[in-house]
Amino acid sequence: MAAYGLYTHIASNKFRSMLLLAGLFLLIYVLVFAGALLAEVLLRSDAPVDYYLRAASRDLVTAFPYATGAAALWIVIAYFFHQNMIDAVTGGEDVTRQQQPRLYNLLENLCISRGIPMPKLKVMDSPALNAFASGLNRRQYSVTVTTGLLQALNDQEIEAVLGHELTHIRNGDVQLMVIAVIIAGVVGFFGELFFRMFTNLSWNSSGGGWSSSSSRSSSSSDSDSKGSGGGGAIIVVIIAIALILLAWLLSQLVKLALSRSRELLADAGSVELTKNPDAMITALRKIENRGELPGATSAVMELCVDNPREGFADLFATHPSVDSRVKALVQFAGGHDPGPLALPSDTADAPDEPEESGTAQPPVTRGPWSNAGEPAGVPDPRPGPSQGPWGRRS
């Protein structure tokens, strides 16, 4: 569903959210079928391929209500406790006005000016420069910022970042991103579970587990299927592995449902809230390549203002580049791009480099260092540009 404006973008996010939830159940069924194939091979290793497929299909029908209930339970758990999971990964903690008066007042003023419900405010202790919003309803919405962001940005720039996150909440981007995190988490959990089962299956096969299961079959069936049964079990194991990999790949492709235009719309929404495009531009330039959260998963990074992680050939990148976002703000909001910005922290740890002899230095104004032996503040009576010990060689 294409989005051509703000309201269609919000409607598109709702449609995609429902589509992703339906896709979650489909991925669960694929994983259950793959697990049933592995289980049938564990129980009997001498059967043909069609036997395993029929048996796994019967197992899927039997497990269908349980798989559906497990997926629904996961959604319920994630609905109520997803913020706790995110906080456990990022270390975000709730803050009050007394703890962070500067940050709290900036967010509250933005919400009051536009009649937006005040979300919860969280701060995570990290030198990274980043922020993100999360939540599935008004009572759950929260905005998390890093301590590095608070130290590096001024009030106008922090206000622009907060406006960016409030726009994500208003546009419905947050719900879609959280659902994508839920899907990636549940598929990753079941995928790891079944891969452990496959590891156990390989060990049993090397230790004679398959042959022992075949010994329980009759001698006549053993003679008929020994030549094709082992090969059938191997083929079925390969099919099961392929299904698990397919489910994992589809869970990663969920990122493609996260329209990259959502970041451009959030930048524009921030400018609409703050009336200050330059603050949004300088905030992006300061955050650029400084937003990596140590220990955060890729799903959490997709929630952030900037995700410096790059996908394969930029295919799985969920954020446009900072350059393209800044160009859009300059073109459509009338902002000014200062170019990449250096922060004091970038040079604080840099080793001092000795000056090269003969390197020209910029001229300095007359002062205590302009002319040796002259008192400070006395102008140089000689014509021409002032020169001091930094401008000419003795």
- 165 noted as active-site residue: yes
pLDDT in tens, 223-255: 444 444 457 788 988 898 888 888 877 776 666
Q: Distance between alpha carbon 56 and the CA centroid of its chain, in Å?
A: 36
Q: What is the dihedral of CA 340, 334, 307, 23, to 10 degrees?
A: -160
| Distance separating alpha carbons of residues 174 and 137, to the nearest angstrom | 9
Residue 158 shares a structural domain with residue 281: yes
The pair of three-digit structure tokens given for residue 118, joined into one six-digit string: 């005040």
Sheet containing 93-94: which strands, arranged edge to edge?
93-94, 120-124, 142-146, 131-134
Residue 301 shares a structural domain with residue 320: yes
Residue 170 shares a structural domain with residue 184: no
Residue 36 shares a structural domain with residue 97: no
CA atoms 137, 138, 142, 143: torsion sign: positive
Domain edge (last residue) among 333, 355, 379:
333
Radius of gyration over every alpha carbon of the chain, rounded to an integer in angstroms:
30
- Listed range (172-181, 199-208, 220-229) with the worst mean pLDDT: 220-229
- Domain region containing 145: 93-174+260-333
| Distance separating alpha carbons of residues 366 and 223, to the nearest angstrom | 104
What are the start-end ranges of the E strands in 291-381? none
Domain edge (last residue) among 333, 348, 366:
333
Residue 75 shares a structural domain with residue 11: yes
Between 55 and 182, the higher pLDDT residue: 55
Residue 72 shares a structural domain with residue 185: yes
Between 342 and 209, the higher pLDDT residue: 342
Residue 236 shares a structural domain with residue 273: no
Residue 170 shares a structural domain with residue 304: yes
β-pairing, 142-146 vs 120-124, is parallel
**CATH (domain of 105):** 3.30.2010.10
Domain edge (last residue) among 314, 333, 352:
333
Does residue 323 lie in a domain region? yes
Does residue 23 lie in a domain region? yes
Three-class secondary structure of residue 142 per DSSP: strand
pLDDT in tens, 131-143: 999 988 888 899 9
- Banded pLDDT at 203 (limits 50, 70, 90): very low
pLDDT in tens, 101-114: 999 999 999 999 88
pLDDT at 283: 95
Does residue 344 lie in a domain region? no
How many other CB atoms are found less than 10 A from the CB of residue 146? 26
302 near 318, Cβ under 8 Å?
yes
Instruction: List the catalytic residue out of 157, 159, 165, 263.
Output: 165
Residue 44 shares a structural domain with residue 18: yes
Between 304 and 12, the higher pLDDT residue: 304
Residue 47 shares a structural domain with residue 65: yes
Residue 99 shares a structural domain with residue 169: yes
The count of structural domains within the chain is: 2
183 near 290, Cβ under 8 Å?
no
The residue-averaged pLDDT of 306-313 equals 64
pLDDT at 212: 37
pLDDT in tens, 360-394: 444 444 444 444 444 444 444 444 444 444 444 44
Between 368 and 95, the higher pLDDT residue: 95
